[in-house]
Amino acid sequence: MSHRILAAVTTLTVVLALWLVVPVHLSGQAFWPKDTPKIPMAPTWIAQKAKLPPYTPPRTPDGVPDFQGMWDGAGGDGAADIEDHEYLDVTTPAEETFISDPPDGKVPYLPWALAKHREIRAGLGRGWPGESGPRTHGAPRSLCLNSMPRVNVDGGQEIIQKPGYVIILASTIGNWHRVIPTDGRPHVGPNAKFWLGNSRGRWEGDTLVVEVTNLNGRGWFDTAGNIYTENTRMVERWRLVDANTIDYEVTIEDPTIYTRPWKINHPKRRDGTDKRNLRGTAFAATAPSQAAAAGFTENVRPAAVDPYEKEVWETACFEGNHENTVTQHELGFKWFKGVTPPK
């Protein structure tokens, strides 16, 4: 993914959001025309990967599969809604569900949780069909608060491997990092809760399996109010299916909010190799002069040959988001404190 484009688009998205007078959706990395075909996600990926030939990944000097390099998120609209949805506006094209299991592509909420999800969704002020209620919550991500598993979906990442560690760094949006030990150590104590949880990895054949616990239950899967709790456990499975594609699957387990474990599944493409055109048209945002005209001179790079193309430059999401935070607050959106399952 072009960091030059993303840097400009991230800032321009703030402008767009204020123009729409809705919460900012930094995940919207592009502007989508209304006739954009539905973005393929889990159902298409399941069919595609079933036809892939076996692949033996290269190894690091330590003998484990080598995932190192720069990787895109899931593409598309960056999980505006992880369930299948139709075109909403220029930031949110029609998109297939991210959910590979259950087969209906829906989050298998318990009844109380489904009611809560619908209540949140009805008051997002976002223009989703059926919105009616009073303002509920803005998506945590729109306040630049990163959470699992969205960090894998809506932005680029760099993966670095060291003996006993897999390290994942934010490469496009904001600041976050995961250092995942693969040495068999236990999780930190259960009272410590984190937006990104606490990750422990292991190798199963060529698959990196990461157990994520200690989640604080404050994050959303998307911008549409799909939620989990602080009891939730996520098990990620990272597997290279060709030199430039990771099959990313995460199983979400939490009997206090879901009827059964469920899975998100999508490919992640190596930076610069995605030919699917899943990012819409970043029209004027690519032109430095346009970004400058919008008042964003800082992150704009030279338009010509760019020796800095592969570098990760500062995005400082939270620092640039204050006006949007104020707007959300003034519009009456409430702070999301997580949900507590009934006893």
Partner 1 sequence: MKRWFVGFLLGLTAIFALTPMPGLGQTPATTPYTPPRTRDGHPDLQGIWQALNTAADDLEAHNASLGVPPGPGVVEGGAIPYQPSALARKKENFEKRATLDPETKCLLPGVPRITYMPGPFQIVQQADKVSILYEYRNAVRNIYMNGNPHPRGPIEWWMGDSRGRWEGNTLVVDVIYFNADTWFDRAGNFHSEALHVVERYTPTTPYHLLYEATIEDPKVFTRPWKISMPLYRRQEKEVEVLENACPAYLLEREWDNPTSTYFR
Query: Residue 277 region, left (φ>0) first, then alpha (ψ -120 to 50), else beta?
Result: left
Segment holding 153, helix H or strand E: helix 150-153
Nearer to partner 1, 277 or 297 (CB): 297
Q: Is 5 in the site for partner 1 (CB under 8 A)?
A: no
Which string of b and e fits 172-202 if b means at least 16 CB within 10 Å? bbbebebebebeeeeeeeeeebbbbbbbbbe
Q: Mark the segment that binds partner 1 (CB under 8 A) among 93-101, 104-112, 162-170, 271-279.
A: 162-170
Q: Mark the segment that binds partner 1 (CB under 8 A) among 83-91, 126-134, 264-272, 311-319.
A: 311-319
- Token pair 């809705």: residue: 22
Rounded CA gap, 225 and 216, in Å? 16
Distance in Å, CB of 170 to partner 1, minimum: 6
Distance in Å, CB of 236 to partner 1, minimum: 17
Q: Is 282 in the site for partner 1 (CB under 8 A)?
A: no
- Token pair 């989050």: residue: 107
Rounded CA gap, 85 and 131, in Å? 14
Rounded CA gap, 49 and 241, in Å? 8
Q: Is 192 in the site for partner 1 (CB under 8 A)?
A: yes
Q: Is 241 in the site for partner 1 (CB under 8 A)?
A: no
Distance in Å, CB of 61 to partner 1, minimum: 7
* Burial (CB count within 10 angstroms: exposed 0-12, middle 13-18, buried 19+), residue 106: middle
Q: Mark the segment that binds partner 1 (CB under 8 A) among 13-21, 48-56, 86-94, 139-147.
A: 139-147
Q: Mark the segment that binds partner 1 (CB under 8 A) among 48-56, 97-105, 188-196, 287-295.
A: 188-196
Distance in Å, CB of 314 to partner 1, minimum: 4
Token readout for 310 is 């592969």
Q: Is 34 in the site for partner 1 (CB under 8 A)?
A: no
Q: How far apart are the first and last CA of the chain?
A: 46
Q: Which of 215, 208, 209, 88 is nearest to 150 (CA)?
A: 215
Token readout for 161 is 């491997």
Binding-site member from 297, 303, 331, 332 for partner 1 (CB under 8 A): 297
Nearer to partner 1, 170 or 257 (CB): 170
Binding-site member from 57, 108, 133, 181 for partner 1 (CB under 8 A): 181
Binding-site member from 12, 159, 170, 250 for partner 1 (CB under 8 A): 170
Site residues, partner 1 (CB under 8 A)? 61, 143-146, 160, 162, 167, 169-170, 175-177, 179, 181, 185, 188, 192, 194-196, 218, 297-299, 301-302, 307-308, 311-314, 316, 318-319, 325-326, 329-330, 334-335, 337
